[in-house]
Structures are given as C-alpha cells and as structure tokens.
Amino acid sequence: MNVVVAVSGYIIPAVMLFIVIHGMIKKVNVYDEFVTGAKDGMKTVVSIAPTLVGLMMAVGVLRASGFLDMISGFIGKFTGKIGLPSPVIPLLIVRMFSSSAATGLTLDLFKEYGTDSLIGLIASIASSATETIFFTISVYSVAAKITKTRWTLSGALISTLAGIVSSVILAMLMI
C-alpha cells in the first residue's frame, strides 16, 4: 500500500513531463496547443452552462418542495420488501440528475443512519456504482452536438438499475 501512495504522487507530474518531452521531440509548440485547448474548453463550458443551470434548479425545486420525500415514501413501500430502504430512494432519484446534490443527500444519510449501517453502505456504494444520467446525456449531447440518442437513455437506465441492485447486494453481504 505504501508503494501505491508513493507512486501516486508522481503520476501526474510524470504524465505532464512526458507530454512536454513528446511535444519537443515531435517539434510541437506544447504551450500554444495547451492554450488552444483551453479556449475550446471555455467555449464548451459556455455552451453547456444553460443546461447545467436548468438541471441544478430542477433538483433544488424537487428537493425543497418535498416531492422527493413523497415519492420515496410511495416507492419505499415496494422497494423495502426487496431490501432497498426508502430513505435511499431520494438519493437514487437525485443521483440521476446531479452528483453534488446526491453527495449532500448521502452525507445527510450518513449523519442520520451512520456510515456502517445498511442505508449508509447502500448510499455510498450506489453513489459510486451509478451515473448522473440526465446530466451526462444532456451536457455531452449538447457539447458534442449529438442529436440521435435513441438507445442512450434506456441503456443508461438499465446500467443504473444494475448499479442499484449491485449496491443492495454488496451492502447486504457486508452487514
């Protein structure tokens, strides 16, 4: 383990040094290429900003209105029977939209139930095993100008379901 910690401190500087040396060998002006890439990155940020603001606002409204609590109470009646406790439902819903809001919900669950509880374990594993589906689809589709997303949502929902099921199973094995 100490080797991993020691090596990890040198990985990013080594990659940066490799890029500069490779650029020098290929006679590429690395700094100009970096600045050009940074400009393109800023254009991308500006183009996706309205989508980000809309998603963050929607999550805030859902959370503040009590809608998530109402939905989790309803869905929790069914999911509780298969091992998924209702307090985790708002996290799983919000996680599909916003990672930062989901992190806040995860911390709330940790404070209330503890990190080593079934709810805490499911929350932490699910946060790692699922993706911010709607955020990712909307932001990257806009940035990459993708208009044909026929199977994207269904594939993302299936993979999220697999992550949730895995989270419950793994958490139950750990308790």
Q: What is the pLDDT of residues 110-166, one digit of tens each?
A: 999 999 999 999 999 999 999 999 888 887 887 788 888 888 899 999 999 999 999
Q: Is 57 helix (H, G, I), strand (E, B) or coil?
A: helix
Q: Please tell me the predicted confidence (pLDDT) of residue 88.
A: 94
* Percentage of the chain lying above the pLDDT 70 cut: 99
- Terminal Cα-to-Cα distance of the chain (whole angstroms): 25
Separation of alpha carbons 149 and 152, rounded Å: 5
The CB density around residue 131, as the number of other CB atoms within 10 Å, is 15
Transcribe 73-111 into DSSP letters: HHHHHHHGGGT--GGGHHHHHHHTT-HHHHHHHHHHHHH
Looking at residue 168, its pLDDT comes to: 95
Whether the per-residue pLDDT at 49 is higher than 90: the answer is: no
Distant-in-sequence, close-in-space partners of 132: CB < 8 Å, separation ≥ 6:
95, 96, 97, 98, 99, 102
Mean pLDDT of the chain: 89
